[in-house]
Amino acid sequence: MSFTRRKKTLALTAGAAIFALTLAGCASGDEPEEGSTTDNTAEAGDGTSNEPVSLTIATFNTPGLSNSETDAEYEFDLIEEYMELNPHVDITYNRAAESGDARENFFTKLGPGGLADVEMVEVDWMPEVMQYSDLLTDLSSDAVEGRWVDYVEAGATDADGRLIGYGTDTGPQGVCYRADLFEAAGLPTDPAEVATLLEGDWDNFFAVGDDYVDATGSAFYDSAAGVWQGMINQLGTAYEDADSGEIVVLDNPEVKALYDQVTAASETQSSHFGQWSEDWFAGLSNGAFATMLCPPWMLGVIEGNAPDTTDWNLANVYPNGGGNWGGSWLTVPASGANIEEATKLAEWLTAPEQQAKAFANAGTYPSQVAAYDDPAVTGAVNAYFNDAPIGEIFAERAEAVVPSPFKGEFYFQVNDAINNALTRVEEGTDDPAASWEKAVADIEAIG
């Protein structure tokens, strides 16, 4: 169903492998000290008899946890490492190719049982999972208090304050831009100068876009929908009321104002290509647009689809503050037979040390605060993006992200309706007003 869901899926699969290759070199020198991991092992040994136990863990895409995910060898196989540290534990690692497959499996088995002991959940379907948070184990403990950046922890905390997921990776966004196209438009090309140029709110971003369009006659950013997800996630309340759960989007002037703003700007500034369409992929290399909102995993997508383009760069800036796109959690279904051991495994895998290794493996950017001080993360540079210090940039971008607005039962249906409205305008099927009316009709029919 969801636009974003499939986007993310495709992107991750396409991008992760390339991203991993770029990063492998950077992280090898400075591995975290083994001391931190031994603490965890000692902890794991406490209190429980070390009776043999079999655990299953189900993930999707390439989270960088096990060599079985990839044809190439990862630098670290975390699943193997855990089994070595805890000889009584035997882990079966299952991975779905796509997030959508994992979601279907998750919801098929959540009720009747049959899920893995540890299940990975993606940010796109987390709001749906949250409605069934009582079927998942409360994982909160003193040991993990404050481990993640706020918005990641908030995203997995239900209305009763139960923490049902341990964050793995996250997607804080910067702005990717084409230096050659910026130069042709008479705009600055140095990442620091571009960051200064784009520093400010969305008005400023679109004003720069106008300058670019005036100078070159071609599009500034890739798509209205791409910008939309950046804008909508910065609102306090977007589509639904956090207390009542009712759909309030049609009475929310902020949403309509953003819609008007983005459709007005997109008329000239957007390339009008739907994200992940064939045309959009072609646009990554042929200069059809000059900027994109960029989470870490997007770097691999760009590199993979525009291998011969040398001028992509990354600016440490994001309009109107921060924004997150993508990310996952590990959950422990309450119906599992080994909840205690499963929780330990999930806790270990999502510890900063391990996620720094996963980042080195597959480029999945950690959501743990402590990882942002880890030289293996902060030292990462991306050669394709003209040696952008991505580790440092994304650590700063993550700290700028504010918790996204409340996303309840109807989030995806409303979001789809509005995304469709934006796409209709982009495609020229409807004008912005008529397209909004259709979205209103769709939203009124929900429920």
Partner 1 sequence: MASTHVDAPAQKHTLRQRLGRLDVKASPYLYIAPFFLIFGIFGLFPIAYTAVISLMDWDTIRNSGEFIGFGNFEYVLNDRKFWIAIRNTFSIFALSTIPQLIIATFIAAMLDHHLKAKTFWRMSVLLPYVVMPVAVALIFSQLFADEYGIFNQWLGMIGIDAVQWHKDPLASHWAIATMVNFRWTGYNALILLAAMQAVPRELYEASAIDGAGKLRRFFSITLPQIRPTAIFVIITSTIGGLQIFDEPRMYDTTGNGGADQQWLTVALHMYNTGWGELNFGRASAIAWLLFLLIVVFGLLNFWLTRRLVSSDKTEGK
In the chain, the amino acid numbered 360 is A
| Nearest to partner 1 of 214, 279 (CB atom) | 279
Beta strand pairing status for 166-172 and 89-96? unpaired
Pick from 57, 66, 295: nearest CA to 166: 57
In the chain, the amino acid numbered 44 is A
In the chain, the amino acid numbered 312 is W
Q: What's the closest the beta carbon of residue 428 comes to partner 1, in angstroms?
A: 7
8 A C-beta contact, residue 168 and residue 365: no
- Sites for partner 1 among residues 372-431 (CB under 8 A): 412-413, 416, 419-424, 427-430
267 lines the binding site for partner 1 (CB under 8 A): no
**Residue tagged 């208090």 (tokens):** 145
2 lines the binding site for partner 1 (CB under 8 A): yes
- DSSP 8-state class, residue 307: T
Q: What's the closest the beta carbon of residue 108 comes to partner 1, in angstroms?
A: 8
Tell me how far CA of residue 423 lies from CA of 9, 203, 247, 252, in angstroms: 20, 21, 22, 21
347 lines the binding site for partner 1 (CB under 8 A): no
432 lines the binding site for partner 1 (CB under 8 A): no
In sequence order, what are the beta bridge partners of 57?
A: 93, 118
Total residues found in the chain within this entry: 447
| Nearest to partner 1 of 55, 417 (CB atom) | 417
What's the token pair of residue 177? Answer: 């831009």
| Nearest to partner 1 of 41, 276 (CB atom) | 276
132 lines the binding site for partner 1 (CB under 8 A): yes
| Nearest to partner 1 of 275, 316 (CB atom) | 275
**DSSP letters of 184-208?**
HTT---SHHHHHHHH-S-HHHHHHH
Most distant CA atoms of the chain, gap in Å: 70
Rounded distance between C-alpha atoms, residue 1 and residue 6, angstroms: 8
Per-residue binding letters, 272-311, with partner 1 (x by CB under 8 A): -xx-xxxx--x---x-------------------------
7 lines the binding site for partner 1 (CB under 8 A): yes
Judged by CB under 8 A, the stretch of 318-326, 334-342, 374-382, 437-445 that binds partner 1 is 437-445
Per-residue binding letters, 306-345, with partner 1 (x by CB under 8 A): ----------------------------------------
Q: What's the closest the beta carbon of residue 423 comes to partner 1, in angstroms?
A: 3
In sequence order, what are the beta bridge partners of 92?
A: 56
221 lines the binding site for partner 1 (CB under 8 A): no
Q: How many residues bind partner 1 (CB under 8 A)?
A: 39
Rounded distance between C-alpha atoms, residue 355 and residue 36, angstroms: 13
Rounded distance between C-alpha atoms, residue 270 and residue 432, angstroms: 14
Query: Using the rule CB under 8 A, which residue among 35, 112, 217, 253 binds partner 1?
Result: 112
Q: Which stretches of the chain bind partner 1, using CB under 8 A?
A: 1-3, 6-7, 10, 104, 107, 110-112, 128, 132, 135, 273-274, 276-279, 282, 286, 412-413, 416, 419-424, 427-430, 438, 441-442, 445
